[in-house]
Amino acid sequence: EAGVAQSPRYKIIEKRQSVAFWCNPISGHATLYWYQQILGQGPKLLIQFQNNGVVDDSQLPKDRFSAERLKGVDSTLKIQPAKLEDSAVYLCASSVLRGLKYEQYFGPGTRLTVT
Amino acid sequence: GQNIDQPTEMTATEGAIVQINCTYQTSGFNGLFWYQQHAGEAPTFLSYNVLDGLEEKGRFSSFLSRSKGYSYLLLKELQMKDSASYLCAVRARTYKYIFGTGTRLKVLA
């Protein structure tokens, strides 16, 4: 099966500009996640969707970050305006329950550099 | 608060066995995951434990003790390609995944 797709792979912007990332999860995966991973750290959950509803967005800086998942499939994450500290890899993941086991798969990520 | 602890770095020799420990304190528990992440790449799923005990998958095994809030990942017959970061993550209440900072494993020839 095809994996989680993300675009773009790399993005360089100046602070105060806006940027958007796109994610297409694995077909049939109802749960979609956006993570922020700063160099040398583990991924930090920004927002979690179940179909097109938000399950958890407690760590999403809502003054500048927004995310949506229309029709319960693709998702976009937007940052407006960007700050220097937003430089990180933004990972999208989707998960499925197989029998009694949960499996979560990550996309290749978008490496954002804010200058 | 929610906390996951794992060692920052480990070094081992090719062909050896290495055990990476993880301790956790989370609100609710719906399973513990291990991921491998090579530099510049996305994490890849290695294992999932929700019941106490050992899960074996080829050269990799993962152990869980829920009463102790403890897990380990065991890598046997180490290969150079196993040099990577290993992330421990807990699926907590509301199915939220909480990740540790990762253990950087360096395999030496």
Cβ atoms of A115 and A15 closer than 8 Å: yes
State the DSSP code for B81: G
Distances in Å between the Cα of B14 and the Cα atoms of A4, B11, B49, B109 are 32, 10, 27, 5
Put simply, the answer to whether A55 touches B95 (Cβ < 8 Å) is yes
Q: Find residue A7's DSSP bridge partners.
A: A22
> Which residues in chain A are contacts of B41 at CB distance < 8 A?
108
Put simply, the answer to whether A104 touches B98 (Cβ < 8 Å) is no
CB-defined contacts A:B, below 8 A: 53
**Higher-scoring residue by pLDDT: B19, B98:** B19
Residue B28 has pLDDT above 90, yes or no: no
Question: What is the mean predicted confidence (pLDDT) over A27-47?
Answer: 93
Work out the minimum CA distance from B25 to partner chain A, whole angstroms: 16
Q: Tokens 């970050």 sit at which residue? A: A65
**C-alpha span between B36 and B104 (Å, rounded):** 10
Among A40-49, A93-102, B98-107, which is the least confidently predicted range?
A93-102
Work out the minimum CA distance from B97 to partner chain A, whole angstroms: 7
A19-24: strand order across its sheet: A5-7, A19-24, A75-79, A65-68
Q: What percent of chain A shows pLDDT beyond 70?
A: 99
At A103, is the pLDDT very low, low, confident or very high (cuts 50, 70, 90)?
confident
Residue B69 near chain A (CB below 8 Å): no
pLDDT of residue B81: 96
pLDDT of residue A101: 77
Put simply, the answer to whether B48 touches A102 (Cβ < 8 Å) is yes
Residue B34 has pLDDT above 80, yes or no: yes
Residue A1 has pLDDT above 70, yes or no: no
Work out the minimum CA distance from B91 to partner chain A, whole angstroms: 9
Q: What percent of chain A shows pLDDT beyond 90?
A: 77
> Which residues in chain A are contacts of B101 at CB distance < 8 A?
40-42
